[in-house]
Amino acid sequence: MPRITKTIFLTEDALIQGLKRKEKYYYEYLYDHYAGALYGAIQGIVRKQEISEEVLNDTFMRIWSKIETYDPEKGKLFTWMVNIARNLSRDKLRSKEAHKEKQTIGMDVSGEIYDYRHTAELPVDAIGVREYLKKLPSEQEFVVEYLYLRGYTQLELSTEFSIPLGTVKTRLSLAMKKLHALIVEN
Amino acid sequence: MNIEEYIASGVLESYVLGELEESGALEVEAMANAHPEIKAALRRIEDTHERLFQLNAGQISMELKDKVMGTLPFETSRQRWLFKRIEVPQLVVAASVAVFLVMAGAALLFYLKWDTTKAELVAIHENHQRMAELVDQARQELNRSNENIESLVATNTRKIELTGTSNSPGSSVSVFWNPTSAEVFIKVASLSALSAEKQFQLWGIVDGKPVGIGVFDSPETILKMNPISGSVSAFAVTIEPRGGSEAPTLETMQVIGNV
């Protein structure tokens, strides 16, 4: 099916209304405009294509069933959706199937929750965002890469790399300010 | 609580990343509702947040879209209706829209023209009313004129010529007096020019006493004066201050004539 909705632009309000009415057109629009970004977030955590596709599917089903609970007053639609995607991804990471897969390909599975997010290379597509991250001071680039591209939480980052949580938060806050100027204002 | 410190604390970034527990999230929402600067800062973070993920978007297959869309339980009847809608030829839709626009345009033009026409109709009606009034007035004047003519040509109307005095030898006025109806008319043949504060006054002499019967300037047509009763022996015209006097200024007498 061609991307018929790609050239049409809906306001967020119109899109939300259509999604709440459970109309197919609006879910297609959602897919055409946002599935790529959601998939990127998922793949950064889950890595394997098959599992990433599965999680993307689960994400859309979750969006469908929970859309009535989405409150525009609390934040943007995308923020809500990507949090669903990331949470489902982290759940998948802890699931037995992922665990078994890692065992099969000979990865280290010691420890209850194996986290290989910091050992493997990022997907090639990350080049798009990398050129902007390079413009940040290295400690800020580090924080953004792990939180946004590798799906870490701030607490996980602080724990794993022994950085005080407050320092992680400060670096993220500064980085977001700089990135706003680099990628939103342009 | 300092707003800038709150924003710099990183709690908003944590909120956007979905890392706050419910109590923390509720607090952020309350703060954002209470302080527009916090709401704005939150929005900026969300915009950056979305942009980062869009830049990091992954390539996904077309088959995946079909699969995902297939798992969502859309209402099929509505789906069929949507398909039917999509199948209407674009040309037919465009033609219908064009026809509607033309008709709407024509209707609008007609409505605008009608508005002007309505205004014109009202103006014409008002004009008609005014004309009717003028015709009525003219008819009344004509009637009066006819009555005056009747009076003038009546058998017992006397015509008295008033000739100039030594003050103005060239002056001449004709008086028409109908003793039965007491009506008086004058026709001025020639009188001197007067300054603005003066007027001519006509007098009738009754029992040796002058009776004023009206003031005038320089009428070109027959002028009807006030009626005078009794037996008039003579008529005369003097020059008086504007509005007339109670008694004639005899030195100014312009014309006089005996009945």
Confidence of residue B198 (pLDDT cuts 50, 70, 90): very high
CB-nearest partner of A56 from B48, B68, B75: B68
Confidence of residue A1 (pLDDT cuts 50, 70, 90): very low
Chain A: residue nearest B66 by CA? A1
Q: Point out which residues pair with B136 in neighbouring strands.
A: none
Q: What is the least distance, in Å, from the CA of B63 to any CA of chain A? A: 8
With a cut of 70, say whether residue B235 has pLDDT above it: yes
Confidence of residue A3 (pLDDT cuts 50, 70, 90): low
Task: Choose the weakest-confidence range: A156-165, B38-47, B104-113, B199-208.
Answer: B104-113
Cβ within 8 Å, pair A39-B60: yes
- Which residues does chain B have within 8 Å of residue A172's beta carbon, measured at their own beta carbons? 10, 13
- Which residues does chain A have within 8 Å of residue B55's beta carbon, measured at their own beta carbons? 128-129, 132, 183
Q: Of the candidates A2, A60, A52, which has an alpha carbon nearest to the alpha carbon of residue A30?
A: A60
Chain A: residue nearest B18 by CA? A83
Q: Residue B37: its pLDDT value, please?
A: 94
CB-nearest partner of B19 from A35, A36, A153: A153
Mean residue pLDDT of chain A comes to 84
Q: Residue A48: its pLDDT value, please?
A: 86
CB-nearest partner of A125 from B47, B51, B57: B57
Tell me which of A48, A49, A129 to substitute to probe the interface with B (most B C-beta atoms closer than 10 Å): A129
- Which residues does chain B have within 8 Å of residue A148's beta carbon, measured at their own beta carbons? 52-53, 56
- Which residues does chain B have within 8 Å of residue A158's beta carbon, measured at their own beta carbons? none
pTM of the model: 0.55
HEC profile of chain B: CCHHHHHHCCHHHHHHCCCCCHHHHHHHHHHHHHCHHHHHHHHHHHHHHHHHHHHCCCCCCHHHHHHHHHHCCCCHHHHHHHHHHHHCCHHHHHHHHHHHHHHHHHHHHHHHHHHHHHHHHHHHHHHHHHHHHHHHHHHHHHHHHHHHHHHHHCCCCEEEEEEECCCCCCCEEEEEEECCCCEEEEEEEECCCCCCCEEEEEEEEECCEEEEEEEECCCCCCEECCCCCCCEEEEEEEEEECCCCCCCCHHHCCEEEEC
Task: Choose the weakest-confidence range: A57-71, B20-34, B76-90.
Answer: B76-90
Mean residue pLDDT of chain B comes to 88
For residue B121, the one-letter residue type is: L
Cβ within 8 Å, pair A57-B67: yes
Render pLDDT for B156-187 as a digit per residue (tens, 0 to 9): 899 999 999 998 999 999 999 999 888 999 99
CB-nearest partner of A154 from B14, B29, B45: B14
Tell me which of A57, A159, A170 to substitute to probe the interface with B (most B C-beta atoms closer than 10 Å): A57
By the 8 A CB rule, do B239 and B256 touch? Answer: no
Q: What is the least distance, in Å, from the CA of B83 to any CA of chain A? A: 11
Tell me which of B45, B56, B85 to substitute to probe the interface with A (most A C-beta atoms closer than 10 Å): B56
With a cut of 70, say whether residue A101 has pLDDT above it: no
Chain B: residue nearest A147 by CA? B17
CB-nearest partner of A184 from B47, B68, B72: B47
- Which residues does chain B have within 8 Å of residue A129's beta carbon, measured at their own beta carbons? 52, 55-56
ipTM of model over 0.95: no
Q: What is the least distance, in Å, from the CA of B92 to any CA of chain A? A: 21
pLDDT (mean) for A145-164:
92
CB-nearest partner of A31 from B44, B57, B65: B65
Residues 6 or more apart in contact with residue B71 via CB below 8 angstroms: A57, A60, A61
Chain pair A-B, CB pairs under 8 angstroms: 153
With a cut of 60, say whether residue A111 has pLDDT above it: no
Render pLDDT for B78-118 as a digit per residue (tens, 0 to 9): 555 555 556 567 778 888 888 889 998 888 888 888 888 88
With a cut of 80, say whether residue A6 has pLDDT above it: no
Chain A: residue nearest B44 by CA? A180
Cβ within 8 Å, pair B53-A28: no
Q: What is the least distance, in Å, from the CA of B84 to any CA of chain A? A: 14
Distance CA B78, CA B71 (A): 16
